[in-house]
Amino acid sequence: MCETCGCTITLDNRNLVHLSHPHEGTDAVTVLADLLAANDHQAQHNRAHFDAHRALAVNLMSSPGAGKTRLIEATIDALRGKYTMAVIEGDLETENDAERVRAKGVVAHQITTGTACHLDAHMVHDALHHLALDGVDIVFIENVGNLICPASFDLGQHWNVTLLAATEGDDKPAKYPVMFRAADLVLLTKIDLLPVLDDFEPARAEAALRNLASRAPLIPLSAKTGHGLDAWLDWLQRSASRRRSHDSERARMA
Query: What does the binding site for Mg ion look like in residue numbers (CB under 5 A)?
Result: 68-69, 97
What's the closest the beta carbon of residue 236 comes to Mg ion, in angstroms? 18
What's the closest the beta carbon of residue 117 comes to Mg ion, in angstroms? 14
Closer of 35 and 87 to Mg ion (Cβ) = 87
What's the closest the beta carbon of residue 145 comes to Mg ion, in angstroms? 7
What's the closest the beta carbon of residue 60 comes to Mg ion, in angstroms? 9
Closer of 54 and 118 to Mg ion (Cβ) = 118
Closer of 13 and 69 to Mg ion (Cβ) = 69
Q: What angle do CA 176, 122, 24 make, to 5 degrees?
A: 85
Alpha helices by DSSP H, listed for 21-131, are 28-52, 68-79, 96-102, 121-128
Closer of 67 and 156 to Mg ion (Cβ) = 67
Contact between 108 and 89 under an 8 Å Cβ cutoff? The reply is yes
Cα separations in angstroms, 91 against 24, 61, 64, 181, 248: 31, 12, 10, 23, 35
Closer of 69 and 189 to Mg ion (Cβ) = 69
Residues with Cβ within 8 Å of residue 144, at least 6 apart in sequence: 90, 91, 92, 113, 116, 117, 118, 119, 150
d(CA 81, CA 75) in angstroms, rounded, equals 12
Closer of 36 and 57 to Mg ion (Cβ) = 57
Q: Are strands 138-142 and 159-165 parallel, antiparallel or unpaired?
A: unpaired
Phi first, then psi: what are they for 142, rounded to 5°? Answer: -90, 110
What's the closest the beta carbon of residue 62 comes to Mg ion, in angstroms? 9
What's the closest the beta carbon of residue 25 comes to Mg ion, in angstroms? 40
d(CA 187, CA 172) in angstroms, rounded, equals 13
d(CA 249, CA 244) in angstroms, rounded, equals 9
Phi first, then psi: what are they for 218, rounded to 5°? Answer: -120, 120
Closer of 45 and 70 to Mg ion (Cβ) = 70
What's the closest the beta carbon of residue 21 comes to Mg ion, in angstroms? 34
